[in-house]
A and B are shown apart, each in its own frame.
Chain A
Amino acid sequence: MTDDTSNVIQSLSVAEVADVELYHPKSWITKYVFSQDAKIIAIQYSITALSIGLVALVMSWLMRLQLGFPGLLSFIDADSYYQFMTMHGMIMVIYLLTALFLGGFGNYLIPLMLGARDMVFPYVNMLSYWVYLLAVLVLVASFFVPGGPTGAGWTLYPPQAILATTPGKQWGIIVMLVSLMLFIVGFTMGGLNYVVTVLQGRTRGMTLLRMPLTVWGIFTATVLALLAFPALFVGSVMMLLDRVIGTSFFMPAIVSMGEQLPYGGGSPILFQHLFWFFGHPEVYIVALPAFGIISDLISTHARKNIFGYRMMVWALVAIGALSFLVWAHHMYVSGMHPAFGYFFATTTLIIAIPTAIKVYNWVLTLWRGDIHLTVPMLYALAFIVTFVNGGLTGLFLGNVVVDVPLSDTMFVVAHFHMVMGIAPIFAIFGGIYHWYPKVTGRLLSDTLGKLHFWVTFLGAYAIFFPLHYVGLMGVPRRYYEMGEMAFVPPSTATLNAFITVVALIVGAAQLVFVFNLVRSLRRGRPAGGNPWGATTLEWQTPQTPPGHGNWGKTLPVAYRWAYDYSVPGAAQDFLPQNQPPVPRTA
């Protein structure tokens, strides 16, 4: 599919911002702090997201220590356990994964991959980061308010989320909701930029069906986010009103601690619908960018064009559309009408089709490829197996009859950690190892990278494979301790201790990654402009790292799709997207 259309590229007037239209920073502050350059904003997003992610990592350690060795740490009581659990989930899903994929990778890669000078509205883009930072700071503030952060679980289900017996009832829940609303406002500003840049800001020759799949993934995910976050926003507003001024949107008549509360007539299920109308697309908000990144990593490092490019695009779009029709599969045990379960189980299982198309296409891309086992490639391969594993247990949980007994057990925890925790994080690691040379001009250490990879990959399996078994044995999730429950066999306690030890090791291995990031800034091997021999435009910039405005005086022109690897007869085993075709001579 080497579609050359060099004869049509002149047919449109150029919609590009001339170099002079960009805001040119005049001081260090406007260049590096309040920067309007998408690349700097991307780095700011990434560092903030990774930093808050480390906080979530420490909380997962503390939870695991309690589960593996109950009572070992005296400061973890039931309340703080729930607080750690809530904050771990919330940070990982929203403040780390969403922000890093869309704010980090999106900001860096969209303008560069599309041959644009910057996002369409750099000023709004800058505001997006600062509102995100504010949201993160408000979130962190909840650790310091009276009563600590909320312990309602990351799903914040009412009525328990705002009842007096839930930890963080005084301030934690309020701060959490405010932080979420800020995040959504900040994200919307960035997200509008990403979508409009993709739709309206491409360089000449860059048709939508020539865009690298990374951009397709980030674009589709951003559209999902713009349509899904409103439900969370509305849910947050209503819960905040319930908590602060005593409305009863979500609160039925209820007796708590022997006292009739002033609430009545609200619908707790309504919140679950709003939350999961956001929550299920959210799974794909973190999965679709990962799909895109993995497609590009596999193609580049296997030196082969992606198999079935158009199908990959349609699969992304189909998954995105379907993700709005499956939300209530999170609510099979909520008391919802069983007929809905029938509908939602059907739509859920239909998603397996486009997802399977993607997996088969990745595998077929690898087939007979010239596979280079670089660190990004290792992570890409790890992503595929992890995602398939997590996806298969998704088939279990998508069926009502299988889900009902497995619901709220550790099996569910193992499932969603495999499919939307570990897998997207592998894509993030792969992406960082892949694009770090473009961002800094230096390669990350390969030795440290492989050490980091093998400990993380094998460790992730050592943690989450046994967790499936623990769940099948009936160990419920969100329990601070098991006590003397007869139905929980002692073997699960042994496994829990094993899992905890591995989790500590895997967590510590992330310090190797952080060390590698910092060390390679100065001491890494110089990378040159295109260390992986990749075709996409971000590797063809005149400078590495790219300067402000990305392209110097003239914008690149895309003459071909992003996957011309190992083209027969070509001098190199890759043809950059901006390499013109040879005109036919007589």
Chain B
Amino acid sequence: MVDLPRTDPGAGISRPAGWEGIVADWSSDQRAFKNVSWGKAMMWIFLLSDTFIFSCFLLSYMTVRMSTVEPWPNPSEVFALNIGGRHIPLILIAIMTFILISSSGTMAMAVNFGYRRDRLRTAILMLATALLGATFVGMQAFEWSKLIAEGVRPWGNPWGAAQFGSSFFMITGFHGTHVSIGVIFLIIMARKAWRGDFDRERRGFFTSRKGNYEVVEITGLYWHFVDLVWVFIFALFYLW
């Protein structure tokens, strides 16, 4: 048998302090994040990557806004609606933002009921979230068609820099795609919750992994992220 430095099972484990302690905690056995499942870790890391995508989009928008020599159209005017004879700036976008933020609330409630294993309430709240999301996308489609009717195109618009339309359609389009994908996933997950897949640990059709209520939270992470990104788009594109 090999003769090696020996271990004394009776000796206590000394825990390093300070930076070394942080390193030791992070690098410790099996898992860096102790109570985090694989799926949740994967979603967080995906969202980090996606953050870089949206950051690049927004930074690029700011760069072209500075590089263009034409005047930048005034968002308050462009995104104003005439309602009941009154000219209200940014009203549509305010409603859209309100709806999307509210959907984060219903999503959070769905996660809560999911962990209480209340399958009907979970499913209903997820469907409500999906409905609010779909409303958001619908209003975005209305906004797009209104702007298109007014002559805004990705390559030009009546009021100034062409990059206004280019950035608008690209960024809201990319975000709207995210919302739409979220809506689809919410509907699929709501169906699974409704059917009781998470109670019976029914295996997924593609992945053949057992279902559980944590999937609701993971879907929620994505949904909250999409909402958060919207706040930045709203601030940097509409309010600036």
How many angstroms from the CA of A203 to the CA of B55 in the assembled complex? 36
Q: Give me 12 A-to-B residue pairs in the complex whose CB atoms sit less than 8 angstroms apart, sorted by A's number.
A: A121-B39, A199-B41, A206-B29, A209-B23, A227-B52, A233-B53, A249-B166, A264-B69, A265-B68, A569-B2, A583-B9, A584-B6
How many angstroms from the CA of A264 to the CA of B6 in the assembled complex? 73
Of the listed residues A200, A208, A226, the one surrounded by the most CB atoms of chain B closer than 10 A to its CB is: A200
Q: Which of B29, B30, B41 contacts A196 (CB 8 A)?
A: B41
How many angstroms from the CA of A201 to the CA of B41 in the assembled complex? 11
Q: Which of A21, A200, A274 contacts B41 (CB 8 A)?
A: A200
Q: Which of B13, B28, B31, B63 contacts A7 (CB 8 A)?
A: B13
Contacts of A583 in B (CB 8 A): 6-7, 9
A207 engages B38 (CB within 8 Å): no
Residue of B nearest to A262 (CB): B155
Of the listed residues A8, A264, A265, the one surrounded by the most CB atoms of chain B closer than 10 A to its CB is: A265
Which B residues between 34 and 76 are near A, CB-CB below 8 angstroms?
Answer: 34, 36-39, 41-42, 45-46, 48-50, 52-53, 55-57, 60, 63-64, 67-70
Contacts of B4 in A (CB 8 A): 2, 4, 567, 569-570, 575, 581-582
Least CB distance from A198 to B in Å reads 8
Interface size on A, residues (CB 8 A): 70
Q: Tell me the B residues contacting A by CB distance below 8 Å.
A: 1-9, 11, 13, 23, 26-34, 36-39, 41-42, 45-46, 48-50, 52-53, 55-57, 60, 63-64, 67-70, 154-155, 161-163, 165-166, 170, 174, 206-210
Q: Which of B1, B31, B37 contacts A12 (CB 8 A)?
A: B31
B31 engages A196 (CB within 8 Å): no
Question: CB-defined interface of A22-34 with B at 8 Å, one 1/0 digit per residue?
Answer: 0100000000000
Contacts of B37 in A (CB 8 A): 200
Contacts of A246 in B (CB 8 A): 154-155
A199 engages B60 (CB within 8 Å): no
A15 engages B69 (CB within 8 Å): no
How many angstroms from the CA of A246 to the CA of B155 in the assembled complex? 6
Residue of B nearest to A564 (CB): B4
A248 engages B7 (CB within 8 Å): no
Known contacts: A188-B46, A266-B68. The answer to whether A199 contacts B155 by CB under 8 A is: no
How many angstroms from the CA of A583 to the CA of B3 in the assembled complex? 10
Does chain B have a CB within 8 A of A64?
no
A200 engages B36 (CB within 8 Å): yes
How many angstroms from the CA of A245 to the CA of B162 in the assembled complex? 12
Which A residues between 260 and 299 are near B, CB-CB below 8 angstroms?
Answer: 262, 264-267, 270, 273-274, 277
Q: Which of B13, B39, B53 contacts A230 (CB 8 A)?
A: B53
Does chain B have a CB within 8 A of A5?
yes
Question: CB-defined interface of A115-154 with B at 8 Å, one 1/0 digit per residue?
Answer: 0000011111000000000000000000000000000000
A207 engages B45 (CB within 8 Å): no
Least CB distance from B70 to A in Å reads 6
A234 engages B208 (CB within 8 Å): no
How many angstroms from the CA of A356 to the CA of B66 in the assembled complex? 41
A204 engages B29 (CB within 8 Å): yes
How many angstroms from the CA of A268 to the CA of B67 in the assembled complex? 10
Contacts of A4 in B (CB 8 A): 4-7
Q: Which of B32, B161, B166 contacts A200 (CB 8 A)?
A: B32
Contacts of A575 in B (CB 8 A): 2, 4
Known contacts: A188-B49, A199-B41, A581-B6. The answer to whether A266 contacts B64 by CB under 8 A is: yes
